[in-house]
Amino acid sequence: MRRTSIESAMLAALCACAAACSPSDNDIGHGPVPLERLDAEATTALCHALFDCRAADDDWQYLRLVLETEERCTRALATVELFDARPLVEAGRVAYDAAAARACLEAFASSCSIGDDPSCARMFTGTLAIGAACTDDRECAGDAYCERSGSDGSCGECRPRARIGESCDVAPCTTTERAECDWGEELAVCVRVVQGPPANEGEACGDTTAGVVRTTVGCAEGLHCASTFEDGVTRGACRVPLPAGAACDDPDTACADGHLCVDGTCAPITLVRVAGAPCGAEALAVCDPVERLVCDEDGGTCTRLGDGRAGSACEPSDDFPGLGCERGLACIEAICEPARADGAPCASGSDCASGFCDDDDFDGAGTCGLPTC
């Protein structure tokens, strides 16, 4: 059974959430957002959008299936760090704008498209000039990025992003406006992205590029874009999700709520809340992540992890990072233990309190802390 990555779904939500959502009330808070509150408030906004926007696509339907409500969604993502920017801000490499963060989250709550509002690009601004040594795109001032393609390790050099109409073979596209890299037949160039009005059932959806302008059309509420993706372009038509028992030819096919495309059929999926119950594709069952259950693929049954406290069992998970440990702890060799301080050995950033593991050789034998160049 296909399990989508919640981190990928978050990224999609942060960059280009459902295009057909209407404004609604929310409870994400008011006033500037302190940096220490940013992850929590962003999680609240994402969970609100997940159940309010009703995007009819496979990623969002899977998440609604297993999370069920906004409250359960918030619980499942309680320990997730979406931005991982605190060490960069504290080191003076990045400046944080708390007012821009509030404007960005409010724009997301009202339009379900967090990437479109200019305030989102102002949340973090770099302090390093073009040509300076860098380790992260966010460190570079202005419309720049950290180019590391010629580097053997973590360090790179701040360079300008590609503008509309310029090549994006190496440099990513500008962030001063909504832009994407159009991988054409001859040369990859940055194009300006314009959001078209939502399409109705049977109408065309996806992307249409003319010159350096790409128009993106989503579907009206309750519909999904049955499409193909080729050369970086999505094209298709808006369709109602397939009903239970309908034939489906792709795991990404949008089936009715509570169903997923499994072995060519839209099948009902059971959310298992009890340890020891069958799970997996054959059982058509998913273990409840909010109850800290994971599917033991070898045994085909749901297994309960620890409570996230020090010494309890954990499982690093791309699907649901909340299955790990409480804040301040790290899941190291399947046991929750205090996150390691700067200077301690690490295999990945998740081992470290800072979230950064300086591992120039990429061999899993790094040192906790921001890379130094």
> Tell me: the pLDDT tens digits for 166-194?
999 999 999 888 899 988 767 899 999 99
Question: In the chain, helix, strand, coil percent, each to 5?
Answer: 25, 30, 50
* Residue 65 and residue 269 in contact, taking contact as beta carbons nearer than 8 Å: yes
pLDDT for residue 321: 57
Which residue segment(s) compose the domain that 69 sits in?
1-125
Per the structure, how many domains does the chain have? 1
Q: Which helix (H) or strand (E) holds 287?
A: strand 285-287
Q: Which ranges of the chain have pLDDT less than 70? A: 1-29, 54-59, 111-116, 150-153, 185, 229-234, 316-323, 361-362
What is the rounded CA–CA span in Å between residue 289 and residue 315? 11
Determine how many CB atoms are found less than 10 A away from the CB of residue 103. 18
330 within domain boundaries:
no
40 within domain boundaries:
yes
What is the rounded CA–CA span in Å between residue 128 and residue 121? 16
178 within domain boundaries:
no
219 within domain boundaries:
no
Among residues 295, 232, 240, 237, the alpha carbon closest in space to that of 269 is found at 295
179 φ, ψ to 5°? -145, 155
| DSSP secondary structure code for residue 221 in this structure | T
133 within domain boundaries:
no
End-to-end CA distance of the chain: 44
- pTM metric for this prediction: 0.74
17 within domain boundaries:
yes
| Tokens read off for 78 | 């309680």
pLDDT, mean over the chain: 81
pLDDT tens per residue across span 8-61? 333 344 333 333 333 334 445 678 999 989 988 888 888 888 887 766 565 677
33 within domain boundaries:
yes
250 within domain boundaries:
no
Indicate the SS3 state at residue 340: strand
